[in-house]
Structure 1
Amino acid sequence: MNASRKTAAVAIGSETGESSRRRSPRVRWLVPAALIFVSLIPVFFGTARLAELTGGAEVTPANHRFFDSPIPVLVHIPAAIVYSLVGAFQFVPSLRRGKRGKRSWHRLAGKVLIPAGLLVALSGLWMAVFYDLPASDGPLLLVFRLVFGSAMVASIAMGILAIRRRDFAAHGAWMARGYAIGIAAGTQALVSIPWLLLVGPADVLTRALLLGSAWVINLAVAEYFIHRRARRSARKNHGSSSLAAPAAITSL
């Protein structure tokens, strides 16, 4: 009986040790570092747009819609900067755990990120519907923006409903999907720049497909990590139940 318990304890300890070795501090910070890197491109251009709007820049055919109706873009850009940069740290496991008697960083940041994400999505939808459509965009890109903007709102809403019923796995999955959609502007730049350098300026259809592919890429990556985490959780639960069964039998 004691031998069985020791075997179970050793197995659990070795599993924990292997898990901790797999997740070194450097590895844990790779994900937020990559997300911040992707976000820096739209952050840079968004900041330049804010400076343009607030600094009295010349009105041109390319930017007149922002000067004609500045409030949506003045809401969209700061909210997107907060959402993309602060949201990256939500994927650090150690920040999800709060100290005894104190709320975790994850929970406190979530109270900022949920309204910021909704502002990003809703202001983006407003601009897509009511701003004049630039000649370089076309109707297909407009459809993409409406579809993915609506999907972002829906993902955040589903994440809120999941956390209200304390379904943490579903909450994390839905919020990851919303975040993946929200930071697609960075991926759009990474997809479009090589095309521009290798092929040249994209036509309306190609531009729509390139930008649309960025949303698909981000969601595909998010789904990969969501399902990988679910499989790990299932294996962990299965391993714990398998180890607990012999110990329960020997205790009888």
Structure 2
Amino acid sequence: MRYATEAHVIEGHAGHPLPRWPSSFLLLALGVLAGMTALVFLVVELPLLLGRNPAWSARIGPYAGILHVHAACGVLALFSGPLQFVPWVRQAHPALHRALGHAYLAAIAVAGPLAVWVAVFHADPQEGLAATVQGVLWMCTSATALMAVRRRDLATHRLWMARSYALTFTFVLHRYVIEILGLRLPADLGGTAAFIWLLTIGVIFVSDSIVAFYRPAKQPLTTAG
């Protein structure tokens, strides 16, 4: 089926509109994401930006500029992503939906390669491998979502955008679990590298589960009597 305009972006299979997510679910999900993000910024990121951790500042000194550009683009992706999943925005404001999508993908086009560069040249080898795979998946899921929407395959676009944003949010989840909750895997279980692998697999599983749950049901086959 061809989709004539962006206003049809919430149509599902066979032209049937997708069921709206319950407003209570959206509010709860956005509230949780916003709360975690705010905590991570205030407790973890702000002290680093203000130079209150000399050891960290000395460690990132050789690549601080690259890391800051990566972080700025990551924040842009982090905050432009959620509205992409709100049906009301897609229906009532298709131009805003497109603009946010362009900003999101442009941010990842910059942040993704920089993340891989830092992981390859400035991270512990085991952690660097896990972070490199995560960064490559981040770029690949985003590129696949872009290719799908260009083909007007909106169901596939929705799935890969969910995967892409799930990987975007690992930035917050990683710091929330380790720095806020103080939970770390022991070294004999793989340490931080194993946690990155588990986090990458986990967020993709969760995003796929949510998309599958809200996918429109297929219409039953009927036969002429």
Normalised by the length of structure 1, the TM-score is 0.69
Q: CA RMSD in A?
A: 3.0
Aligned to 1:26: 24
Q: Percent identity?
A: 20
Report deviation, 1:121: 1.6
| Higher helix proportion | 1
Q: Distance in 2 between matches of 1:73 and 1:160?
A: 25
Task: Answer yes or no: is 1:80 the counterpart of 2:77.
Answer: no
Task: Report the CA distance shift for 1:201/1:98 in structure 2 as closer, same or farther (over 3 A).
Answer: closer
Does residue 106 (structure 1) correspond to residue 63 (structure 2)? The answer is: no
- Mapped partners of 1:46, 1:142: distance in 2: 21
SS of the residue corresponding to residue 92 of structure 2 reads: coil
- Larger Cα Rg: Structure 1 or Structure 2? 1
Moved over 4 A (4+): none
Structure 1: stretches of 5+ with no match in the other structure: 1-15
AA at the equivalent of 2:63: S
- Spell out the pairing of 1:83-162 with structure 2 (5 A cutoff): 83-98=77-92, 103-131=94-122, 133=123, 138-162=124-148
Contact 2:73 / 2:110 at 8 angstroms: preserved in 1? yes
**Are residues 58 and 224 of structure 1, via their aligned partners in 2, closer, same or farther at CA, if it must alter by over 3 Å?**
closer
Alignment of 1:224-243 (within 5 A): 224-230=209-215, 233=216, 235=217, 237-238=218-219
What is the 5 A alignment of 1:199-210? 202-203=186-187, 205-210=190-195
Q: How many residues align?
A: 206
The answer on whether the counterparts of 1:43 and 1:81 sit within 8 Å (CA) in structure 2 is no
Please list every run of 5 or more consecutive structure 2 residues that lacks an aligned counterpart in the other structure: 1-15
Give the distance between the partners of 2:128 and 2:120, measured in 1 at CA: 8
User: Any idea what the Cα deviations from partners look like across 1:113-146, whole Å, max 9, x if unmatched?
Assistant: 1111222222211111222x3xxxx422111101
Shift of 1:41: 4.2
Give the 5 Å matches for 1:154-193. Answer: 154-192=140-178
* Cα pair 1:125 1:145 within 8 Å, conserved: yes
Residue 168 of structure 1, CA deviation: 1.0
